Amino acid sequence: MAFFAAARQGRKDDAELGTGVWRRAHDRFRRGLDRYHQILEGIDDDDVYNELVGIANDLSEMLPRVREVCVRAQSSSPSTGLDIPGALMQVHRALSRAGNTLATTAEAAAMTRLDGERWGVASSGLDNVRRRAQLVAEDVEEAERAMPDGDGHPR
């Protein structure tokens, strides 16, 4: 059953996101989010776990926003390859940064988990994860602002 659902989702993604840079930007963000959630599995410290889950929830709320930007970008400047449409260079740059920063946020969460397990101290690591998650939010907001409105002007 899951195979067919994945196939349907893949066709929907192809239709909405294309197969080029917008699909890659969306998928990079989604993979970073998946990686962050994998880090949460097996955390023994309840305080660290609860804090990281709260951050995970905030990050998860950004995925539909990233998808919306990518769908709109694909609609206005379709992409089937690696070439970034010049009119949306800023949008792509912000989305790429968001995906990359999300990956480093997952790394910071992993280090926080390890520090908590080893030393019982994770507060500075949690601050680092929070800072990185804030940067992800700022990058997503920048992509949304840079996406032109119906008249071709950035928001």
Q: What is the pLDDT of residue 89?
A: 95
For the chain, what are the domain ranges?
2-76+85-146
Q: Tokens 């969460």 label which residue? A: 109
Q: What is the pLDDT of residue 10?
A: 64
User: Residue 87 and residue 97: Cα distance in Å, rounded?
Assistant: 18
Q: What is the pLDDT of residue 124?
A: 78
Q: Which alpha helices (DSSP H) does 45-88 contain, by range?
A: 46-60, 63-76
pTM check: above 0.85: yes
Q: What is the pLDDT of residue 151?
A: 54
2-76+85-146 CATH pick, 3.30.70, 1.10.287, 1.10.357, 1.20.120: 1.20.120
**pLDDT per 10-residue tile (average), the chain, 155 residues:** 60 82 97 96 87 97 98 93 90 97 96 70 82 98 90 58
Q: What is the pLDDT of residue 150?
A: 62
Q: What is the pLDDT of residue 3?
A: 56
Q: What is the pLDDT of residue 85?
A: 87
H or E segment at 21? helix 21-40
Q: What is the pLDDT of residue 121?
A: 54
